[in-house]
A and B are shown apart, each in its own frame.
Chain A
Amino acid sequence: IVMTQSPATLSVSPGERATLSCRASQSIGTRLAWYQQIPGQVPRLLIFDASIRATGIAARFSGSGSGTEFTLTINSLQSEDFAVYYCQNYGAFGQGTRVEVK
Chain B
Amino acid sequence: EVQLVESGGGLVQPGGSLRLSCAVSGFNFQTYWMSWVRQAPGKGLEWVANIDFHGDEMSYVDSVKGRFTISRDNAKNSLFLQMNNLRAEDTAFYYCARETPGGACYYDYWGQGTLVTVSS
Contact = CB atoms under 8 A, between A and B. Distances in A.
Given A42-B110, A43-B45, A96-B44, A91 B61 contact: yes
Contacts of A88: 45, 105-107
Q: How large is the interface on A (under 10, 10 to 19, 20 to 34, 35 or more residues)?
A: 20 to 34
Given A55-B108, A91-B47, A96-B44, 14 more contacts: A35-B45, A37-B45, A42-B112, A43-B107, A43-B110, A86-B44, A88-B105, A88-B106, A88-B107, A90-B105, A91-B61, A93-B45, A94-B44, A95-B44
A76 B113 CA distance: 31
Interface of B: 44-47, 59, 61, 95, 100, 104-108, 110-113
A27 to B, nearest CB: 15
Contacts of B46: 93
24 contacts: A35-B45, A35-B107, A37-B45, A42-B95, A42-B113, A43-B45, A43-B95, A43-B107, A45-B106, A45-B108, A48-B100, A54-B108, A55-B108, A86-B44, A86-B45, A88-B45, A88-B106, A90-B104, A90-B105, A92-B47, A93-B44, A93-B47, A94-B44, A96-B45
A81 interface: no
